[in-house]
């Protein structure tokens, strides 16, 4: 059965929300059996294109990958990241969000930021565009990778931003690299679900980059658990293939017409 936003909101304090990223139909079709939310993230910048920043991702890139992911989804809610410089004001955000939804048939869009985009989110929601928020580490604007919430001023700002996003009408908020007690505080103080990535077990759900989860990415992050090492499996398969080709064992009669 197709996942609805209302169903996800009802999970708060009852059942954890499961989410992963996908950038293609084949991966999405697997994740769809287990995930509540599949995010087409602008993390594809580093995962697929070896870009140094998510700022290099274009609207067209997000739309094309999302169209592929859409074909692999039957049940999960599909959310698409709005890339950098596509929601600098309400008018621009509305135009681009409508384009994303029209082209990809996604269920929602995700925007990074708090107070600065409050009015923008209000405009999108007013126009019946579901929005997922994103606080803590903001890859589109933060120049360095560091956990958020150790300083009081930072903690107060993130909590205030979460309350503002809820007021603006978001249906959930991603908390990225947020200190444990702060993630717990935010989750407790808002009525919409929080989705954590490096933000503790106290969030209402969790999200990871799929390539990190399967060990395809060689980078090691403290908040990532690699549930398998697919690089090793791929290496074994390619090694066996190369040996059989060189020994003229492939293709054989079964593989030939």
Same-domain pairing of 119 and 139: yes
Same-domain pairing of 20 and 133: yes
What is the biggest distance separating any 2 CA atoms in the chain, rounded to whole angstroms?
70
Quick one: pLDDT at residue 232? Answer: 96
Rounded Cα distance between 20 and 40, Å, is 9
Token reading at 211? 């390539």
Nearest to 196 by CA among 173, 215, 218: 173
Could you read off the pLDDT of 122-156 as tens digits, one per residue? 999 999 999 999 999 999 999 888 899 999 999 99
Q: Give me the tens of pLDDT residue by residue for the chain, a chain 257 residues long.
A: 899 999 999 999 999 999 999 999 999 999 999 999 999 999 999 999 999 999 999 999 999 999 999 999 999 999 999 999 999 999 999 999 999 999 999 999 999 999 999 999 999 999 999 999 999 999 999 988 889 999 999 999 999 999 999 999 999 999 999 999 999 999 999 999 999 999 999 999 999 999 999 999 887 878 899 999 999 999 999 999 999 999 999 999 888 88
Same-domain pairing of 51 and 88: yes
Same-domain pairing of 139 and 248: no
Same-domain pairing of 181 and 87: yes
Q: Which domain holds residue 105?
A: 5-226
Same-domain pairing of 64 and 183: yes
> Is 166 a residue of the active site?
no
Same-domain pairing of 234 and 222: no
Rounded Cα distance between 76 and 252, Å, is 41
Quick one: pLDDT at residue 222? Answer: 83
Same-domain pairing of 129 and 254: no
Same-domain pairing of 246 and 144: no
Structural domains in the chain (count): 2
Quick one: pLDDT at residue 87? Answer: 98
CB-count burial class (<10 Å; 0-12, 13-18, 19+) for 123: buried
Same-domain pairing of 51 and 73: yes
Selected catalytic residue, list 112, 166, 176, 179: 176
């Amino acid at each position: 059965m197709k996942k609805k936003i209302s169903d996800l909101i009802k999970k708060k304090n009852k059942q954890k929300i499961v989410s992963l990223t996908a950038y293609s139909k084949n991966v999405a079709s697997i994740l769809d059996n287990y995930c509540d939310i599949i995010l087409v993230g602008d993390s594809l910048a580093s995962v697929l294109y070896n870009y140094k920043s998510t700022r290099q991702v274009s609207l067209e890139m997000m739309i094309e990958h999302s169209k592929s992911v859409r074909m692999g989804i039957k049940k999960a809610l599909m959310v698409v990241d709005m890339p950098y410089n596509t929601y600098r004001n309400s008018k621009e955000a509305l135009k681009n969000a409508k384009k994303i939804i029209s082209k990809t048939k996604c269920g929602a869009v995700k925007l990074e930021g708090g107070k600065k985009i409050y009015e923008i989110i209000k405009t999108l929601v007013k126009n019946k565009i579901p929005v997922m928020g994103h606080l803590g580490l903001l890859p589109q604007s933060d120049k360095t990778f560091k956990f958020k919430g150790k300083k009081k001023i930072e903690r107060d700002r993130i909590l205030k931003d979460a309350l503002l996003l809820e007021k603006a009408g978001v249906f959930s908020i991603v908390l990225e690299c947020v200190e444990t007690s702060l993630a717990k505080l935010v989750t407790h103080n808002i009525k919409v679900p929080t989705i954590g990535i490096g933000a503790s077990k106290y969030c209402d759900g969790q999200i990871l980059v799929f390539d990190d989860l399967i060990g395809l990415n060689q980078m090691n992050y403290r908040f990532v658990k690699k549930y398998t090492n697919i690089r090793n499996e791929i290496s074994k398969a390619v090694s066996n293939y190369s040996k059989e080709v060189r020994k003229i064992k492939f293709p054989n009669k079964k593989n030939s017409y």
